[in-house]
């Protein structure tokens, strides 16, 4: 049986123009798909972060239930920070970190207007500690949120543990303002246990009263200002 082999004239490769066309098509597809994939990755990190805030808020709720309704301090008299106090109530210490904040020791802070720092009162103790039952609008009061910025709400301030309220000052290394890491939104959880994303203009900037999303009773203007 004779097997014919293609002649040199019958074997035809890609021309330079055809190769350039293929390369151009691939480049166009990459330009279209890469931003989509990048946004999808960012959305995934945001979802993880929302889940983290929700788990931390549930940890606070469980701690409070075991402490006769008394809320945990941001730092107790032995200088143990609140994430460590919640360890028995959360499934993993990984929930302390937002995927978009890998260098920090903690990506979240408790609302400093409600939660007390016991070290502020040493060598004594606070005369009173807020309880969960004092909250008049738990579904509208911030419990925990993403933090990590200076007063300009842009410059990074790493490894803080207390979310400073709008009219409060950054008094120590544990204080910070919120960080809008995800599509210009900040993930926060409320005292009823629900969590979500908000722009700073929706809960932090230009509010009346300034601390209305952070005080025990927003209807009492005297409670809606920083203790500092």
The reply to whether 124 falls in a domain is: yes
The reply to whether 142 falls in a domain is: yes
Residue range 104-125: mean pLDDT, rounded: 91
Residue 3 has pLDDT above 80, yes or no: no
Span 49-99, pLDDT tens digits:
999 999 999 999 999 999 999 999 999 989 999 999 999 999 898 999 999
Q: Give the least confident one: 59-68, 131-140, 215-224.
A: 215-224
The reply to whether 5 falls in a domain is: no
Confirm if 55 and 41 have CB atoms less than 8 A apart.
Answer: no
Span 16-35, pLDDT tens digits:
787 888 888 888 887 777 77
The reply to whether 1 falls in a domain is: no
Tell me what pLDDT residue 21 has. 82
The reply to whether 58 falls in a domain is: yes
What is the total count of domains within the chain?
A: 1
Domain range enclosing 86: 16-223
Token digits of residue 131: 């309880």
Cα dist from 221 to 69, 143, 203, 212, whole Å = 24, 19, 16, 8
Q: Give the predicted TM-score (pTM) of the model.
A: 0.82
The reply to whether 192 falls in a domain is: yes
Closest C-alpha to 79, from 107, 106, 125, 119 = 119
The reply to whether 29 falls in a domain is: yes
């Amino acid at each position: 049986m004779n097997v014919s082999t293609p002649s040199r004239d019958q074997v035809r490769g890609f021309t330079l123009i055809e190769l350039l066309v293929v390369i151009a098509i691939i480049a166009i597809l990459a330009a279209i798909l890469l931003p989509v994939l990048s946004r999808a990755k960012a959305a995934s990190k945001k979802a993880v972060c929302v889940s983290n805030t929700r788990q931390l808020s549930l940890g606070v709720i469980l701690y409070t239930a075991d402490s006769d309704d008394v809320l945990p301090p941001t730092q107790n008299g032995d200088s143990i920070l609140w994430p460590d106090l919640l360890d028995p109530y959360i499934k993993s210490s990984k929930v302390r970190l937002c995927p978009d904040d890998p260098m920090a020791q903690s990506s979240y802070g408790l609302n400093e207007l409600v939660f007390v720092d016991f070290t502020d009162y040493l060598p004594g103790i606070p005369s009173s500690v807020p309880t969960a039952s004092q909250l008049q609008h738990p579904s509208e009061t911030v419990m925990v949120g993403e933090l990590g910025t200076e007063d300009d709400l842009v410059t990074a301030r790493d490894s803080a543990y207390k979310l400073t309220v709008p009219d409060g000052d950054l008094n120590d290394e544990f204080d910070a303002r919120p960080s809008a890491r995800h599509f210009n939104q900040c993930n926060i959880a409320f005292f009823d246990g629900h969590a979500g994303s908000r722009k700073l203009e929706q809960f932090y900037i230009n509010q009346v009263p300034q601390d209305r999303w952070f005080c025990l009773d927003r209807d009492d203007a005297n409670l809606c200002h920083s203790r500092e």
